[in-house]
Amino acid sequence: MPRGDLNALFPEDSSSSDEDEFGERGPSDKDTIVAIVSGAQQGAVSIIRLSGELAVHIAMMVFRPAGTEKLSSKEKADWWPESHRVYYGHAVDLMGDVMDEVLLMAMLKPRSYTAEDVVEIHTHGGGISAQRVLERLMEIGARLARPGEFTMRAFLNGRLDLSQAESVAQLIDARTVAAADSALAGLQGGLGREITAMRQECVDLLVELDARLDFDEDLPPLDVPALVERINQLTQRLEAALATGRQGQLLRTGLQVALVGRPNVGKSSLLNALSGTERAIVTDIAGTTRDIVEAGIVIGGIPITLLDTAGMRESVDLVEQIGVERSLAAAKQADIAVMVVDAEAGWTPADDDIFQQMFGSSSSSSSSSSAAGSDSDSGLGGGWGSGDGGAAASSKRGAAPALLVLNKSDLAAKQRQQQTDGKKAQTGSKKAAGAGRGKKAGKAAAAADATAADTAVAAAAAAAGVPPAAAARFAAVVETSATKRQGMDSLQDAVLQLADAPELARGGVAFAVNERQSEALINAREALQRLQLSIAAELPLDFWSIDLREAVLSLGEYDVRYLSDETALLLGSAVVGAYALQHLMAPHSAYETYWAPSQPYSAATTQYNGLGALSMAATTASVARLPGNRTAKKMLLKVTGASWLVFGLADLYYSRTGVNNNGGISAAINVSLGSYFLFKGFQPVADGKKSG
Amino acid sequence: MEQLPPPQATARLQPLAAARLGAKTLLLTLNLDRIAWQPCNPAVGGPAKSQLVHEVDALGGEIGKIADRCYLQKRVLNASKGPAVWALRAQTDKLEYAATMRRVLEETPNLYIREGMVTSVEVDSNDEVCGVRTFFGITFACKAAVLTTGTFMNGQAAVLTTGTFMNGQIWVGRQSMAAGRAGEAPSTGLTERLVELGFETDRLKTGTPARVDKRTVDFSGLEEQPGDDDVRWFSFDPAVHRPRQQLSCYLTHTTAETHRILRENLHETPVYGGWVDAKGPRYCPSIEDKIVRFADKESHQIFLEPEGRSTPELYVQGFSTGLPERLQLALLHSLPGLESCKMLRPAYAVEYDYLPAHQCYASLETKRVKGLFFSGQLNGTTGYEEAAAQGLVAGLNAARRAAGQEPVVLPRESSYIGTLMDDLVTKDLREPYRMLTSRSEYRLVLRSDNADRRLTPFGRQLGLVDDRRWQLYQDKQERIDAERARLEAIRVQPDHPLAVAAEAVSGQKVPAAASLADLLRRPHVHYPLLQRHGLGAPTLDFSAGSEGVPVGSSSSNGEAAADAAATTAAAPSAGSGGGEQPPAGEQQQAQVLQQGAQPQAAQPLATAEQEAVEIDIKYEGFIRRQAKQLQSVAAKHARRLPDDLDYRSIQTLSMEAREKLSKIRPRDIGQASRIGGVNPADISNLLVYLETRRRTSAAAGDSSAAQQAQRQLSRKAQRKAMVAAAMGEAQVSGSERGSDAEAAAAEEAAEAVAAA
């Protein structure tokens, strides 16, 4: 879905001009645009943002700064906000009547989110005030911004590159802290560095090969084993980067986990236990849950939607029957199906029916579906799926990876104790089956080992009478006792393992490739695999270069300039000119973006640069509480200063790496401003204007 | 189906069409006797350069044919590497080469040759070229015809191809004299005029080694390098495929004594002595450069190459030097076999003016003066082949301009010629540019063997390919396609002797009912193996004496044929530019083709054609992948950049990018991305800028923008067609559009002259 996100970033079709809405002239990038950017939620404060050439002029027709009532009309007309300074005043309507008490902050170009003049007006929340001010601004001449248009302008004006713009969308859409961290890392360009480095390695290899086409005699013989080793390492790095993609996907879209099983095996209890709520009604009556109950939880930073489904049974009750059908459909579309079995009752024929309905009759499907679970290709390609993509992927995969939960384990254990040792032999054979399955399932097997290493659990699976064919379908078997809240950690771990995101559980997230990027990485990896085949087949050198070039192309626009240092070539030192390719696929994706069909409205409306917000909020707060505690204000300003400093250093980095060619200037401004705030303390409130 | 046109129509040039176009061409040269003179190594081809020659030939150019007719020895280089880097190299007879080329020029209708030194380019008030003026005060107006070192067309076009002559200065040690090359006066005054017109000029340097008398060389201890038994050809025209007797080259090497002399006298050379600072070609370094650069190498190979059948001169390849003449003989004597040799000409270096080619469009027309084209060493290249390629492009476009047609640009992805043009006008070259295999990103697609498939249809559209060549081309493609289909269709059982043999050489098991193509895809299985088992096509041999008769292997009467060719080459009847193909030969050939048209039977195929089929089958996957790369990059890069773009005002570009883009003014995104100092982030920002601009102009409903877009579209279509052709998918109508071929050919010829 990052492809979807990509389009959602700039959802409007550039050729469409909604003339009815925007007057005779179609919307243009020169218009001054306006929108309520604080989102639909009812907060205490609403923020209206204006961006464009006339932003300040338009805002001035609505804003009346406090303390200017006594001034002459000429002085009033001369009043003009300074950049990056917060003003208190009133929003007034056409007749000059006050609509609301507001704060206004102007951020003059180029130091604003869109690199145009930006004015933000903070009104009271609740919707009405903001709406009135917005309407007034539109009357004066601002155009309502289309979804994502602020970020679009930031992109068009070179303020953000595409990856960063994508990261903004991810940041806004982030549902968990881990997801936000990952998006922020993307915004700061960690991913680009890694891809640049890998591409550079490919280019180096290519130079080495190409040099031999023309200057074979002058160069030392090609060290093929070393070359192969470098290619292997490169492949591993590609794999590692690809793995982040899957994690990123998880962080962005989360997982749907469906609990399925017979009535009254404890699915609802399990949902309550996992979510720590009493979301689902639990009774001893079979068939209590008649429709799907959802609960949102977070496991290891991944947002997870738990679906409690109606217990599946033949029922004469029409309502229950519909519930069962819907449950089955929902469970089949979920990313992970958790089949809950009553450990005490063991594997019953009814369980078998459900198993067949859910997972098909063929036991051979186990290997293929397990492979789907552990193969990053299909995982990335299909997506873990929210929305249509995920559903499509699920149906393509056949059935989702599955876990088996033996609930009511406390009761079962009691029962087991009463049994003799006579079944030990059988247990052993089941364990062997489990091991065999582990090999097939790859990483999922690790999950099985981790969670089911305990002999008791394996034994429980066996003891519960789960037939080997069915057991093989499950990536892991977990014993729980929902009522006693036992085994919840094991179940969470098993879900994470199955999602192939054990790293997430530990909370370490650097950056994550999105789908656009992972497609490129996959192409590069495939090219390298073909290259390895060519080398193995002892094809001539110039064939090697074809696939190596493919890898370079996949990792970014191919650059012929590597041959420009011809002396270096001749002398055999494969010195390559400096590459400042922070954002490799940008040319390619710029094409894609602009020629992509328009996408429906998305959540990307309220683009907000996280760091910008932080520093602005700090400034705002400190000024808004002018009569307040000096120390607190100092602290706030220091925070602001630190943020600017970070911005500045980032700009400096970008300018050094060629991402933002104006970075040098903004770096200087940001660093100096930041240092000023940070080290000189309180006075700078008045000096904020320097930032313009 | 094989009705070849009657002999009259096979004349290479069509006076009628030419007269109709009115592209009268004047070749002005400093010395009529030095047309197509090879002042350095009399050799044509070599890695990457041979591709250029094949491509020029596919477009109807002359260099390949002349090289085929005048060769002393031919070898295929890089034969152990992949087919993309195989390279044909011919040692040529320099006297015969010049004489043959001059005769071609003389016999070309509408081409006028005159001796004279151009000292000025006349430019009218529209910044359009309107004539040239010679030293002796004659002005050749553009409306009529003209040039020295250049050519002129009816209409307003002039091509400058000054080679090393503009303010040429030759050096032997510290001694120097004004000369274009040894024994020839330089051209003076023209540089000053060009500077006056606002052109930027600079100096380059190149050099040539000494010549020795082969009668004084002891070859007994030297390694002989004979020519290939199986002679290959540059030209796709079988009329020039006449095997001749070959002369051998010999291999010697530098010794410790050589290195000692050089090291002790480095200060005596112009470069290390510091009195010449022009940049020389790194790829053709002088022997002192090699000693300095590869200090740890104890010995360098030196080739002794004959310069002609009628001269005892030997070219000492790899031994050019700037040492004073008094030291040169001692240096030569330090080489094994040359201990008592006599030197016939000393080595010298030459320094000359060139005009950095970013001042030209890829059509080689200058950006500053309309109708003025620069070509050859003047643009900073080195080598006859590079010069021929440029000559073709400049001549073609000059003729098109004369006829009021749009210029034609060969896209980089289409050919080595396109790559050369793109590099020249894009890169900031500060040393002589030589074509290298690694300069092309798509070498497996841009092979020698398929140069005609890539370019001949295009040449036909442009009027560069006459009816006879077009027919030959179509017949050849038909043969190749039929053979390919046959190889895919015929299957053999694993117990067939061929399958057994294939299994043995490849070490891979042959499955049941494998097609011949499947067998060819196996490593180490080659076409001759099929022939040995009676499943290959018979070899079609076009060579003289056995013309049109399919034979199992190469003809055994090569010597006689060579002799015949050698003698006829001196006589005007056989090798001239007019009706090259004897009518009798054509008829015979037609018969053979008719025989071959019978269904099911394998049609006879020339060796090169068998090889082309084999390459296409064997490396199909790679070719397809590279073609895909080519296509996707070409599509991305084809986006035109507006001519009126003010790069300096684009704030999001780095300062360096703004400067470089303003200077080069690239024609499309691809070219922009290849400019040094313009990094991908700049390209990305440039695209964004263009998009912003497009949105703005779209909103404004700018009709002129729409017009421009339309014009760009047609260019885009043209480019697309070229790329398609490069990928072997070309389907070109056989419409005859007259011929400005003489302009191109003459230009190419003039170019070879100038290069010399």
Domains of chain A, residue spans: 33-160, 173-250+514-558, 254-283+292-312+320-358+400-414+453-507, 631-680
Beta strand residue intervals within B78-183, DSSP E: 87-92, 111-115, 118-123, 129-134, 139-141, 150-153, 157-160, 169-172, 175-178
pLDDT of residue A219 exceeding 70, the answer is no
Asked if B293 is an interface residue toward chain A (Cβ–Cβ < 8 A), one would say yes
Q: So what's the pLDDT on residue B543?
A: 52
What are A234's two structure tokens? 């490169």
Q: Which of A517-521, A625-629, B611-615 has the highest mean pLDDT?
A: B611-615
Nearest-CA neighbor of A602 among A187, A158, A46, A170?
A170
Q: So what's the pLDDT on residue A564?
A: 30
According to CATH, the topology of domain B478-537+605-625 is Arc Repressor Mutant, subunit A (1.10.10)
Contact (CB<8Å) A661/B657: yes
Contact (CB<8Å) A213/B619: no
Q: So what's the pLDDT on residue B716?
A: 58
Distance from CA of A195 to the nearest CA of B (A): 14
What are B12's two structure tokens? 């290479």
Asked if B77 is an interface residue toward chain A (Cβ–Cβ < 8 A), one would say no
Contact (CB<8Å) A563/B438: yes
Chain A residues with beta carbon closer than 8 angstroms to that of B653: 661
Q: So what's the pLDDT on residue A367?
A: 37
Chain B residues with beta carbon closer than 8 angstroms to that of A26: 699
pLDDT of residue B82 exceeding 60, the answer is yes
What is the tens place of the pLDDT at every residue in A654-670? 555 544 444 555 566 66
Query: pLDDT higher for A593 or B744?
Result: B744
Chain B residues with beta carbon closer than 8 angstroms to that of A571: 293
Chain A residues with beta carbon closer than 8 angstroms to that of B48: 214
Q: So what's the pLDDT on residue A200?
A: 81
* Across B645-674, average pLDDT: 86
Chain A residues with beta carbon closer than 8 angstroms to that of B696: 28-30
Q: Could you give the CA distance from residue B576 to residue B103 in angstroms, rounded to a whole number? A: 6
* Across B236-251, average pLDDT: 93
Q: So what's the pLDDT on residue A289?
A: 75
Asked if B82 is an interface residue toward chain A (Cβ–Cβ < 8 A), one would say yes
Contact (CB<8Å) A579/B679: yes
Q: So what's the pLDDT on residue B97?
A: 95
Chain B residues with beta carbon closer than 8 angstroms to that of A218: 294
Contact (CB<8Å) A658/B691: no
Query: pLDDT higher for A692 or B544?
Result: B544
Please say whether the structural domain A33-160 has been given the CATH code 3.30.1360.120: yes
Select from B254, B424, B438, B692 the residue whose CB has the most chain A CBs within 10 Å, as the one to mutate to test that interface: B438
Q: Which of A162-171, A257-266, A618-627 has the highest mean pLDDT?
A: A257-266
Dihedral pair phi/psi, residue B56, rounded to 5°: -60, -40
Classify B14-458 by CATH class: alpha beta
Q: Could you give the CA distance from residue B731 to residue A3 in angstroms, rounded to a whole number? A: 37
* Across B733-746, average pLDDT: 35
Q: So what's the pLDDT on residue B450?
A: 92
Residue with tokens 């099985």: A448
Which range (A592-596, B361-365, B399-403, B504-508) has the least confidence?
A592-596
Taking residue B594's Cβ as centre, other Cβ atoms within 10 Å add up to 12
What is the tens place of the pLDDT at every residue in A360-389? 644 433 333 333 333 333 333 333 333 333
Query: pLDDT higher for A411 or B335?
Result: B335
Contact (CB<8Å) A587/B687: yes
> pTM above 0.95?
no
Q: Which of A532-546, B144-158, B548-562 has the highest mean pLDDT?
A: A532-546
Confidence of residue B36 (pLDDT cuts 50, 70, 90): confident
Q: So what's the pLDDT on residue A539?
A: 84
**What are the structural domain ranges in chain B?**
14-458, 478-537+605-625, 639-694
Asked if B114 is an interface residue toward chain A (Cβ–Cβ < 8 A), one would say no
Chain A residues with beta carbon closer than 8 angstroms to that of B691: 14, 156, 590, 594
CA angle in degrees (0–180, nearest 5) for A11-A16-A17? 115
Query: pLDDT higher for B87 or A184?
Result: B87
Closest Cβ opposite residue B629 in set A210, A213, A553: A553
Question: 3-state SS string over A330-347?
Answer: HHHHCCEEEEEEECCCCC
Q: Distance from first CA to last CA of chain B, Å, rounded?
A: 44
Contact (CB<8Å) A580/B436: no
Strands A85-92 and A98-107: antiparallel
Helices (H), B558-650: 558-570, 572-575, 583-596, 607-618, 620-637
The alpha carbons of chain A give a radius of gyration, in whole angstroms, of 30
pLDDT of residue A315 exceeding 80, the answer is no
Q: So what's the pLDDT on residue A635?
A: 64
What is the tens place of the pLDDT at every residue in B159-206? 898 888 999 999 898 888 999 888 888 988 999 999 999 999 999 988
Query: pLDDT higher for B96 or B635?
Result: B96
* Across B713-727, average pLDDT: 58
What is the tens place of the pLDDT at every residue in A237-246? 888 877 776 6
Q: What is the ipTM of this complex?
A: 0.73
Closest Cβ opposite residue A661 in set B427, B652, B676: B652
Chain A residues with beta carbon closer than 8 angstroms to that of B688: 155-156, 158, 590
Contact (CB<8Å) B676/A561: yes
pLDDT of residue A615 exceeding 60, the answer is no
Q: Is the peptide bond before A110 cis (omega within 30 degrees of 0)?
A: yes
Asked if B682 is an interface residue toward chain A (Cβ–Cβ < 8 A), one would say yes
Distance from CA of B309 to the nearest CA of A (A): 31
Give percent of chain A above pLDDT 90: 7
Confidence of residue B353 (pLDDT cuts 50, 70, 90): very high
Residue in chain B closest to A655 (alpha carbons) equals B654
pLDDT of residue B143 exceeding 70, the answer is no
Which range (B111-115, B154-158, B259-263, B480-484) has the least confidence?
B154-158
Mean pLDDT of chain A: 66
What is the tens place of the pLDDT at every residue in A502-526? 444 333 445 566 666 677 788 888 8
Beta strand residue intervals within A193-261, DSSP E: 255-261
Closest Cβ opposite residue A213 in set B431, B438, B669: B438
Q: So what's the pLDDT on residue B446?
A: 92
Classify A254-283+292-312+320-358+400-414+453-507 by CATH class: alpha beta
Which range (A82-86, B347-351, B742-746) has the least confidence?
B742-746
Confidence of residue B27 (pLDDT cuts 50, 70, 90): confident
Q: For the domain B639-694, what is the CATH superfamily, name and number?
A: GidA associated domain, C-terminal subdomain (1.10.150.570)
Mean pLDDT of chain B: 78
Closest Cβ opposite residue B680 in set A25, A157, A581: A581
Q: So what's the pLDDT on residue A398?
A: 47
What is the tens place of the pLDDT at every residue in A244-271? 766 666 776 777 888 888 888 888 888 8
Q: Could you give the CA distance from residue B572 to residue B583 in angstroms, rounded to a whole number? A: 16
Contact (CB<8Å) B679/A590: no
Q: So what's the pLDDT on residue A229?
A: 92
The alpha carbons of chain B give a radius of gyration, in whole angstroms, of 26
Q: Which of A317-321, A575-579, B448-452 has the highest mean pLDDT?
A: B448-452
Sign of CA dihedral B189, B194, B197, B203: negative
Q: Could you give the CA distance from residue A270 to residue A310 in angstroms, rounded to a whole number? A: 13
Asked if B626 is an interface residue toward chain A (Cβ–Cβ < 8 A), one would say yes
In the CATH scheme, what architecture does the domain A173-250+514-558 have? Up-down Bundle (1.20)
Give percent of chain B above pLDDT 90: 34
Helices (H), A442-514: 443-452, 455-463, 468-471, 488-498, 502-505
Q: Which of A156-170, A221-235, B311-325 has the highest mean pLDDT?
A: B311-325
Q: Could you give the CA distance from residue A113 to residue A210 in angstroms, rounded to a whole number? A: 44
* Across B492-496, average pLDDT: 86
Chain B residues with beta carbon closer than 8 angstroms to that of A161: 681, 684
Query: pLDDT higher for B449 or A314?
Result: B449
* Across B547-564, average pLDDT: 34
Residue-wise DSSP of A539-563: --HHHHHHHHHHHHHHTS---GGGG
Window B:520-549, CB contacts with A under 8 Å: 523
Helices (H) and strands (E) in chain B, counts: 26, 25
Query: pLDDT higher for B51 or A152?
Result: B51
Asked if B692 is an interface residue toward chain A (Cβ–Cβ < 8 A), one would say yes
